[in-house]
Structure 1
C-alpha cells in the first residue's frame, strides 16, 4: 500500500477523537458528525483508488460480478465463483461501470455511501442524550474506515439496512426499553409444573389461551404492523447484500411489541431476497435452468480456515482448506450462539444482538477482517466497559494486515501472515470481556420520584350568625 502512513494517521486521529469525545462528553451536531465521517472516508477512498495495491477480492471477485451484469450474464456464475450472494449489489456495480466511473472509485463508492448513511443510524440506535456522541464515535471508527474505504467490502451495505431495521422496529419512544420481557423458559417450566402437561396445552391453546391472546388484534396494531412490515423489508435488503445478517433477525423481531407484528416482519424479511432471486432471468439474463446452480453456489461455503484465533493455531498460521476444522467450527458456532441466546434471553434485543455477533467472532474458525465490523454499530451504540479495548484491538489487528503486510512481496507476506493470524488469539479474551455481561437482564430505568401530594386540610366549620 502506497499511502499506509497517511491512512494510519487518519485511523489514529479517529481513535483519539472518539476517546476525547467520550472523556469530554461531546454532543456534536449531526452536520458536524457527518462532515467528519465524510472527510475521513472520502479521503481514504481517494488514496486507496490511486494506490498501486488493490485487494484481491475487490478486483478478482467484485469487479467481475459487475461486469457480468453489464454483459447480461449471471453475476454469481459469471464471476467464476467470486460472488456468492444475491445479485443486488452487482446490479449497482454494473450501473456504476456503465456510467464510466473507474472501478477503483465506483466499487468503493457503494460501501462508502452506505457507511456514511450508517453514521446517523448508529445515533438513532443509541438514542437518548448520547445519540450524537455515539454517531460521532462511529464516524471516527477506524475499522469502518478500513473496510468501507480501503477494502470496499460490502459489510456496510448489509449493516445500513440491518441497523435501519432495528431502528424502525423499535419505533418512537424511550430507547432504554426492552422488546419482549417474558422469560419463555420459566413460563413453560412453570406452566407444566403447576398444571401438568394437559393443563399446559389447554393453557396455551384454549379459548383464552396464550395463542389466542397473541393472535387477537390490539389497540395500536396498525402502527406496529406497519413498522413490522418496513423493518422486515429492510432486513430482507440486508440479506440481499450478504447472508450473515440472518443473525440480526432475532433482535429485530424481539423489538416489535406483539406476536402478530413479529410474524409480519418475519414474512416480510423474505420478500426482497425472493424477488432478486426469481427476477434473475429478467435483470441478469440468467436462464431458468441455471437458477438451481446459482442457489447451489450461494449456499456453498468454502472451508477456508487458518486466519483467525484457534483455527490459525491448528493450521500453523496457514490460510487453507480444511473440511474437518471447518465442520467442527461450524458446530461450535451453533452451540456457542445457542448458549449465548439463552444467557441473554432477558436482555434488551440490541444487547442480545451484540452478544450473538461477538460470540460468533469468538467461536468461528474462518474470518476475514471485514467480519469484525458486524458487531461494531451495536457495540458503539451501546458500549460496555471493555468496548473500546475491543474496538482498538480488532482495528489494530486489521490495520496491520491492510497497511503493513501489503508493503512486502508474496513470500514475506506469507511469513508475516503466520504471526498475524496466530496473534489474533490475544483478541479472544478482550472480545469476551466486551460482551454486555452486566446487561444480561434488562432493568428499566428508575422512574423519577413524584412529590408527595399534599394532604387535604379539613375545612373549618363556618360560624353563622344566630
Structure 2
C-alpha cells in the first residue's frame, strides 16, 4: 500500500472521534454523520484506486465478473469461478464499466455507496435518543472504511439490504422488541388443527402489515443476492414481524429476488439453459480453505490451505453454535439475537476473510454491549495490519502472515464477551443495557 500513513491517520482519527463522541455524549446530526462518512470514504477510495497494490480478488475475481456481463457472458462461468454468487452485483459492475468508469473506481463505487447508505440505517436500527450518535460512530468505523473503500469487498451491499430489512420489519414504535414471547410447552399444548388453520387465515385489516412483511422479505432477498451469508439474518427479521401470517409472507418474499436473478440468467447474462446447473454447482461449492483465522490457524501454523476435515468440523460447530444461540437468545430483542449469531459465527468458524468481520459491525455499533468497543477496536486493528502494513510487499506478507493469522485467536474470547449476554432476558432493563460503557466526565 502506497498511502499507508494517510490511511492509518484517517482510521485512528476516526476511532478517536467515535470514542470521544461516546465519552462526551455528543450527538451530531444525521447530516453531519453522513457528510463525515462520505468524506472519509471518498478520500480512501481515491487513494486506493491510485495505489500500486490492488486486492487479488478485486482484480482477479470481481473485475472478470463485471467484464463477463459486459460481454454477455455468465459472470460465474466467465470469471472461472472467481465469482460464485448470484449475478446481481456483476450487473452493476458491468453497467459502470460500460459507462467508461475505470475498474479501480467502478468496483469500489458499488461498495462505498452501499456503506454510505448504511450510516443512516444504523441510526434507524439503533433508534431512541442516541440514534444519531450510533450513525456517526458507524460513519467512522475503521473496518467499514477498510472493507468498502480499500478492499472493495461486497459485504456492505449485503448489509445495506439486510439492515434495511430489519428496519422495515420492525416498523414504527419502540425500537426495543421482544423475541419469542410464548414458552415451548405452552405453544405445543395449544397446537391443534383449528388453531393452525386460524393462524394461517389472512385478514383484510392486516394488509398494511403484510405489505411491510413483503417489503422486508424482498430486501432480505436482495441481501442474499449479494452474498449467501445473510441467511443468518433471516431469523431476526422474521421475529420482528408480528404473527405467523406476516412471518410467512416475509419468508416467501425473501425467496423471490434470488429465484428471479437465477431464472433470468438466460435473459440478462446470456447464460444458456444447459449451463444453469453448472452455475448452481459453482455457486454452491465452498472450498475448504482454513488457516487464516482462529482455531484452524493454530492447527495449520497460520498457512492458508485446503483442509476438508477442519472445514467440515467447523461447519458443524457453526450449526451447533447458532442453534444454541437461537435458544439462549430466543426471548431477546431480535437485533440482539442477530448480533449474537454473527459473533458466535466469528468465534467458531474454520475460515474467515477480514471482510467477514464487518458482518456484525452495524448491529454491534447500533446496540453496543459492555465489550463492544474492545471487539470493534481489536478486530479493526487485526484487519488493518493485514490491509495496511502487510501489503507493503510480498516479502512482508509472507513473513507476517503465519503469526498474524495465529494471533487472531486472542480476539475470539473478546468477541464472545461482546455478545449481548446481559440482554438475553429483555425484562432485566433494556435502557440500562444500552448505556454506553465509556465513563462519563463529572459535571459540576
State the TM-score, normalizing by the size of structure 2: 0.95
Structure 1 pair 206/384, CA: closer, same or farther in 2 (3 Å)?
same
Specify the alignment match of 1:142 in structure 2.
142
Alignment equivalent of 1:204, drawn from 184, 191, 195: 191
Partners of 1:270 and 1:305 lie apart in 2 by 30
Distance in 2 between residues matched to 1:93 and 1:293, nearest whole Å: 22
Per the alignment, residue 172 of structure 1 pairs with 172
How far apart, in 2, do the equivalents of 1:34 and 1:98 lie?
29
- Specify the alignment match of 2:186 in structure 1: 187
Task: Answer yes or no: is the 8 Å Cα contact 1:155–1:374 preserved in 2.
Answer: yes
Which position in structure 1 is the counterpart of 2:219?
Answer: 234
In the alignment, the residues of structure 2 paired with residue 167 and residue 85 of structure 1 have an alpha-carbon distance, to the nearest angstrom, of 25
| Distance apart, 1:59 and its partner CA | 0.2
* Equivalent of 1:302 in 287, 293, 298: 287
1:128 counterpart SS class: coil
1:425 corresponds, among 401, 409, 418, to 409
Q: Are residue 436 (structure 1) and residue 420 (structure 2) matched?
A: yes
Tell me which residue corresponds to 2:305. Answer: 320
| Distance (Å, rounded) in 1 between the aligned partners of 2:72 and 2:307 | 35
Q: Which runs of 5+ in 1 are unaligned?
A: 192-199, 448-466
| Structure 1 partner of 2:24 | 24
CA–CA distance in structure 2, aligned partners of residues 220 and 386 of structure 1: 44
Higher CA-based Rg: 1
What is the CA deviation profile of residues 15-40 of structure 1, one whole-angstrom value per residue up to 9, with x for unaligned ones?
A: 11110110111111111011110001
3-state SS, counterpart of residue 401 of structure 1: helix
Tell me which residue corresponds to 1:7.
7
Aligned residues: 431
Q: Contact 1:179/1:257 (CA < 8 Å) preserved in 2?
A: no
**Cα shift at 1:373:** 0.3
State the distance in 1 between where 2:92 and 2:153 align.
14
Matches of 1:71 and 1:169, distance apart in 2: 38
1:463 matched residue in structure 2 = none
1:346 aligns with 2:331: yes
Show the counterpart of 1:104: 104
- Following the alignment from structure 2 to structure 1, what is the Cα–Cα distance between the partners of residues 111 and 22? 27
Show the counterpart of 2:122.
122
Q: Note the 1:336-375 alignment, pairs <5 A.
A: 336-375=321-360
- Residues 373-384 of structure 1 mapped to structure 2, 5 A cutoff: 373-384=358-369
Unaligned runs of 5+ in 2: 432-444
Structure 1 residue ranges (4+ consecutive) displaced by more than 3 angstroms after TM superposition: 216-220, 444-447
- Mapped contact 2:423–2:430 kept (Cα < 8 A): no
C-alpha displacement at 1:187, in angstroms?
Answer: 2.5
Query: Which residue of structure 1 aligns with residue 81 of structure 2?
Result: 81
Secondary structure in 2 matching 1:25: coil
In 1, Cα distance between equivalents of 2:179 and 2:411: 31
Q: Following the alignment from structure 2 to structure 1, what is the Cα–Cα distance between the partners of residues 280 and 193?
A: 42
CA distance in 2, matches of 1:376, 1:224: 29
What is the CA RMSD across the aligned residues, in angstroms?
1.4
Is the contact made by 1:73 and 1:285 (CA closer than 8 Å) also made in structure 2? yes
Deviation at 1:250, TM superposition (A): 0.3
